[in-house]
Amino acid sequence: MNALGRHILVEFYDCSPELMNDVMHIENSMVAAAETAGATVINSTFHHFSPYGVSGVVVIQESHLAIHTWPEYGYAAVDLFTCGDSVNPWVSYNYLKEAFEAGHGSSMECRRGQLELLKRLDFNLESLRDVSPKPAEQLGTITRDIWFTERDENIALSLKHSGNQLYKKDSPYQRVEIYETLAYGNMLTLDGMVMCTQKDEYVYHEMITHVPIFSHPKAKRTLVIGGGDGGTVRELLRHEQLEEVTLVEIDELVIEACKLHLPETAVAFDNPRLNLLVQDGIKYINECADSQYDLIIIDSADPVGPGEGLFTAAFYKEVFRCLTPDGLMITQSESPRFNSAVFVEIYETYKQIFGQDKVHCYLAAIPTYPTGTWSFSYSSKGDSHPLVFDREAAAAFSQAQGLKYYNEDIHTAAFALPNFVKDLLNSNTNTNPDDYSAEPTH
């Protein structure tokens, strides 16, 4: 060959967009392409990015195979680099072209390390040899690293998963997926954004429910908009005082996926006090009679996709109408650090509708949400205040129910805001709620 290695630069065009966004298919195909060509695979590391695109590399004893995909163009850029002449990279090329359902491909081969230009060094190579013993169980094994990555232009969260995608379906509203992650258990994503994981979902669901219930002990009727994973209604139904909990979820696939693969979260769907409705939450609120609910929880996704309409002043005004005179509205209100502009606008809108002194922000630590700091809003139509609650009852409830996050001290501490959050909440006092419409951010 008269060179140390062969390097093929490959471009695949008119590939299946679906396959170009499927990290498991791409990882399996790249590993198989290497093995089919006779290479010895050492390691594979692949990332799936949000909203789409995959990057990865297969390290082989003879060098590597690397890829990045652009599903929106049906395009993949691939590097096939093999050392010596024992592996034919063109075998990998042909394998991948078929695996990716490429319409056509182009390529350029480079010979790397031309022997005519190299001079062997007078050096004791034995001093570089790795003579450390290798555990027998590691010999001949492949380390496979497959990652889900949620990112925007400024920040990213990566979670390693097993390569076993438990659920993947497209509804009329969004793509619903569940991955088996190594650190956080099964993870629900909607359109590539993390919604909840088995390991930390309790933080979100305990804080969005128990804070308002203990602040409004007379609440009997509760409405949840969104929350198809079931975690919010699970926590609400721990409270015997609630006579009825109505859950309105637009996407039945979210419910289906969570029943199958997040059973601890979706455990309360058969509770006789639950009224489950699969329909549009905005339409439901618009048609709801006045003063129907003591507590309304907006357990929405971020202001994009089917949840976008839940982040408008018109919607919140309808929620206000549906509350009893002393009713409460609770929402997830984004990350004050990550989505600062949306965070500020949301609270200004709430204040215009409920009153300046009737809206409160509280925080919780959720590791798999952007920045780890997440906010909730507490908006009171009447005179209830989140810090006026029965501490003894909250403490006894937390212990009796075996809660993992909420307790009487957390209830109080969550409303102690960092200075930067206070500054954000005081940064804009002249917003007209009719002008508010959140831009997609996360």
Catalytic residues: 63, 68, 83, 299
Q: Residues forming the annotated binding site for spermidine?
A: 205, 229, 299-302
Rounded (10°) CA dihedral 333, 337, 338, 340: 60
Residues whose CB is less than 8 angstroms from the CB of residue 382 and which lie 6 or more positions away in sequence, other chains included: 324, 325, 326, 327
Nearest to 142 by CA among 49, 55, 32, 68: 32
Nearest to 48 by CA among 234, 177, 210: 177
Determine how β-strand 274-278 pairs with β-strand 359-365. Answer: unpaired
Q: Residues forming the annotated binding site for S-methyl-5'-thioadenosine?
A: 174, 249, 280-281, 306
* Interatomic CA distance for residues 392 and 411, integer angstroms: 12
Beta bridge partners of 77: 11, 68
Block residue for tokens 């590691």: 138
Q: What angle do CA 116, 122, 124 make, to 5 degrees?
A: 125
* Interatomic CA distance for residues 334 and 288, integer angstroms: 26
Q: What angle do CA 77, 83, 84 make, to 5 degrees?
A: 140
* Interatomic CA distance for residues 330 and 282, integer angstroms: 16
Q: What angle do CA 306, 311, 316 make, to 5 degrees?
A: 120
